[in-house]
Homo-oligomer: A and B are copies of this chain.
Amino acid sequence: MSRDPVTIVTYEWLPEFPRGFVRDIRARWAAEEAGVAYAVETLPVMPKSVAHRQIQPFEQVPILRDGDLTLFESGAIVLHLAEGTPLLPEARRAEITQWLIAALNSVEGATGRWALMQMAERHPAIFGPPSPPEVVEHARQGMVARLDALERVMQGRDWIAGDFSAADILLADVLRVPAAMEALAGHPALTAYVARATARPAFQRALADHMAHWQAADARMAAQA
C-alpha cells in the first residue's frame, strides 16, 4: 500500500433485498483493485441523521473519506481512488471517463427505470405504485435498445476501454442489476462481461466483505433482542 487508508461510509444495517447491490460495493471494489486499504464507518438507514445530510445531501451511500476530502457519488469515488493507478491511465482518461459516465447516465438511466418498475411490483411501499404493463413494456424496450448497443460494443472486447479500468467497475456493476433480474439473457457478450468482471479477486473480496458487513449487523441486532 503506497497511500494512507481511506474510510468508506455505508449503512449500519439494511433488509435482505438490496444486499449485494448497495453502491458501497463499487467503492470497496475500486479500493481492492487499487490496493488501497480502507476502514468502514456506518450511518443508520432510517431515520436519516443530520450528520448524514451534512456529508451527503441526498442521504445516500457510499461516502468516501480520504484525509481532508469527503466525497460522494460512487462514480466520483471510483475515479478518485483510480487516480494514479492502472485503473485510470492518463492517456485514456477521456475515454474511461466517457464510459464511466455512459454507465451512470445512458445505461443506468434505462436499466434503472425498468428495474425500478420491477421493484415497485414487489415492494410498492418502498418503490411506489406499480406502472401499467404498456408503460413497463416501453421501459423494457428502451433498456433493450441500450443493451443491444452495448452488446455490439463488447463483442470482441474483454473490457470497455482497453485494459480493465475504472469504467469497468461502474459498467459491470450497473449491468449486475439486469443480470440478476434475468434481463441480460439475450446478450451473450454482456453476460460474459459481467461474469468476467465479477470473477476478479478484487470484486470477490469486495462482495464478501460487503455481505459480511450485513451479517455482522444481523448478529448484533440478534444479540440485542
Contact = CB atoms under 8 A, between A and B. Distances in A.
A53 B131 CA distance: 32
Contacts of A71: 94-95, 98
Contacts of A135: 128-131, 135
A57 B149 contact: yes
Nearest to A152: B57
A64 to B, nearest CB: 9
Given A57-B153, A149-B57, A152-B57, A73 B105 contact: yes
A80 B94 CA distance: 6
A130 B135 CA distance: 7
Interface string A122-133: 000000111110
Contacts of A139: 128
A75 interface: yes
A73 B98 contact: yes
A79 interface: yes
Contacts of A211: none
A106 interface: yes
A136 to B, nearest CB: 10
22 contacts: A53-B152, A57-B153, A69-B94, A71-B94, A72-B98, A72-B102, A73-B97, A73-B106, A75-B105, A76-B97, A76-B98, A76-B101, A76-B102, A79-B94, A79-B97, A80-B97, A101-B104, A104-B104, A109-B109, A128-B142, A129-B138, A132-B132
Task: List 6 A-B pairs, minimum CB-CB distance, nearest first.
Answer: A128-B138, A76-B98, A57-B149, A75-B101, A73-B101, A129-B134
